[in-house]
Amino acid sequence: SRRHDVVVIGGGAAGIAVTASLLRRRGDLDIAIVEPAEMHSYQPGWTLVGGGVFSAAITRRPMADVIPDKATWYAAHAERVDPGAREVVLGDGRRLGYTRLVVAPGLVIDWGAIEGLEATLGQHGVTSNYRFDLAPYTWSLVQSLEKGRALFTQPPMPIKCAGAPQKAMYLSCDHWRRQGRLGDIEVSFCNAGEVLFGVADYVPALEHYIDRYGIETAFGHRLVEVDGPSRRARFAVKDAEGEREVERGFDMLHVVPPQKAPAFIAASQLGNEGGWLDLDPETLQHARHPAVFGLGDASGTANAKTAAAVRKQAPVVAENLLASLDDKPLLAAYLGYGSCPLTVERGRIVLAEFGYGGQLQPTFPRWVNDGTRATRRAWWLKAKQLPWLYWNGMLKGHEWLARPARRHADRDDTQTARG
Ligand code: FAD
């Protein structure tokens, strides 16, 4: 087997950002990235593709272009990890030894969990912004729908970018409103959960748009089956009257399926009860295997699963991983920051930014941007600034506005990686 100082599983937002960050701190580190995909996606852009603002093409680049030059790329998937032997086993049978491992494979979208969905995606009015090839279909459906019923679904948590199911809905409604068609289109938000958004401070601004667009909110509605040709969707409903199933017809259906951790995490003894990476929430070091760190959507930490979270996590992992290599205490702390720019209309965004426990963590002072209100400045940030910052800042290891918080050295004895 080949050995590397650091092996990184995944070349998504998290894997690339942390690799770039490590190399910026220590240029001679021998880092390998294990990633099977040929293309790297800027997924936060897909909401704007579905809203007719971005072209799909600008949300993807060849993986070879985003992998830092100094890193070694293995174009294979990680089959499992042997934390005892400190080895990663690749799908093609190769084994990579590591001194430190970073696990960043993202999450798995469980399209198959909804009966009939895979067979009908991309036709019969059934779409999802959660796939690169389908986001353009969302926009074409929005443009062509003149009247009828539009359903937008949200699965049980956790999902990546928890606001994205309703972002798709608001942008669609905004288009129909501007075209004078909204009165002829019945819009429903079928949400498996019980609230519009998990952090209460942002709910009033969102409710304002629910009212403005005349959206029916159907809480406790979990999509279980889609019949594309007959345009019917079946939901398991849980409310005060108990559990039952209901059917709803649709002309357009925007689906967000349930999401789960990659299976190899649990199979490699790296998971928590839910199968997500079992990390210390502050240091992002594995709870049981000190040579292992993790970040991104695969993490079991209680933050919002977003690229914005990754932006703050990457420097924490880089700094703590290097400290552990040097046998020093882990001093960088991640406080759970995540962000969800809620596109409530074309031109305005509610910029939700919060950490562990729903504590608000705005980047800007209130006079620059009030995150609890829909603002033009936040739209400008999302549509004009963030894509550039993603490709040229985060993926290159620049850490503007992402300096880690400090932990206290006296609390770190047990956190230091040994060996
Ligand atoms: P990913 O970027 O998904 O990358 C995971 C990588 O790991 C992939 O390249 C995959 O091929 C690879 N991989 C998987 N399994 C293996 C394996 N076994 N071995 C090796 N490699 C593997 N975030 C925001 O901050 N703001 C937003 O507005 C926003 N909107 C979003 C809208 C949509 C529609 C979607 C889908 C996401 C949105 N996000 C948003 C979330 C954001 O895209 C993710 O949180 C972010 O990409 C997480 O990074 P990651 O590296 O953990 O996962």
Place of tokens 């932006």: 311
In the predicted model, is pLDDT for residue 172 greater than 80? yes
Q: What is the pLDDT of residue 410?
A: 53
Architecture of the domain made up of 111-259: 3-Layer(bba) Sandwich (3.50)
- Cβ density class 376-407: b for 16+ within 10 Å, e for less: eebbebbbeebbeebbebbbbbebeebebeeb
The alpha helices in 27-83, defined as continuous H runs, are 46-50, 63-66
Q: Tell me the per-residue pLDDT of 47-62, one tens digit each, with 9 for 90 and over.
A: 999 999 999 999 999 9
Q: Could you read off the pLDDT of 129-165 as tens digits, one per residue?
A: 999 999 999 999 999 999 999 999 999 999 999 999 9
Q: What is the pLDDT of residue 411?
A: 53
161, 303, 344, best to mutate for ligand 1 pocket (most atoms within 8 Å of CB):
161
Average pLDDT on 305-321 reads 98
> Residue 173 catalytic?
no
Homologous superfamily of 2-107+261-339+385-411: FAD/NAD(P)-binding domain (3.50.50.60)
Annotated catalytic, 190? Answer: no
- What is the per-residue pLDDT for 241? 85
Domain boundaries, the chain: 2-107+261-339+385-411, 111-259
Tens of pLDDT, residue by residue over 185-239, are 999 999 999 999 999 999 999 999 999 999 999 999 999 999 999 999 999 998 8
Residues with Cβ < 8 Å from 237, sequence gap 6 or more?
218, 220, 221, 222, 243, 244, 245, 246
- How many angstroms separate the alpha carbon of residue 13 from the centre of ligand 1? 6
Domains 2-107+261-339+385-411 and 111-259 share a fold: yes
Percent with pLDDT over 90 in the chain: 95
Task: List, in order, residues 6 or more apart from 101 with CB less than 8 Å away.
Answer: 6, 7, 8, 9, 81, 83, 86, 88, 291, 292, 293
- Split at pLDDT 50, 70, 90, the class of 409 is low
Q: Work out the angle between the directed axes of helices 307-325 and 13-25 (0-180°, nearest 10).
A: 40
User: Which of 34, 43, 131, 363 to mutate to test ligand 1, by most ligand atoms within 8 A of the CB atom?
Assistant: 43
Q: What is the overall mean pLDDT for the chain?
A: 96
- The answer to whether residues 37 and 131 touch, using CB atoms and an 8 Å cutoff, is no
Three-state DSSP at 166 gives helix
Query: How far, in Å, CA of 350 to CA of 371, rounded?
Result: 6
Q: What is the pLDDT of residues 116-133, one digit of tens each?
A: 999 999 999 999 999 999
For 63-174, list the strands marked E by DSSP.
Answer: 72-74, 78-82, 87-90, 95-103, 108-109, 126-127, 148-154
Complex prediction ipTM = 0.99
Considering the candidates 161, 218, 226, 252, report the single residue annotated as catalytic. Answer: 161
Q: Reply yes or no on whether the pLDDT at 2 is more than 50.
A: yes
Residue 78 CA to residue 94 CA, distance in Å, equals: 10
Element (H, E) at 177: helix 164-178
Mean pLDDT of 297-310: 98
What is the pLDDT, as a whole number, of residue 417?
39
Q: Is the CB of 18 under 6 A from ligand 1?
A: no
Reported confidence tier of residue 77, pLDDT bands at 50, 70, 90? very high
Yes or no: say if 40 and 134 are a contact pair by the CB < 8 Å rule. Answer: no
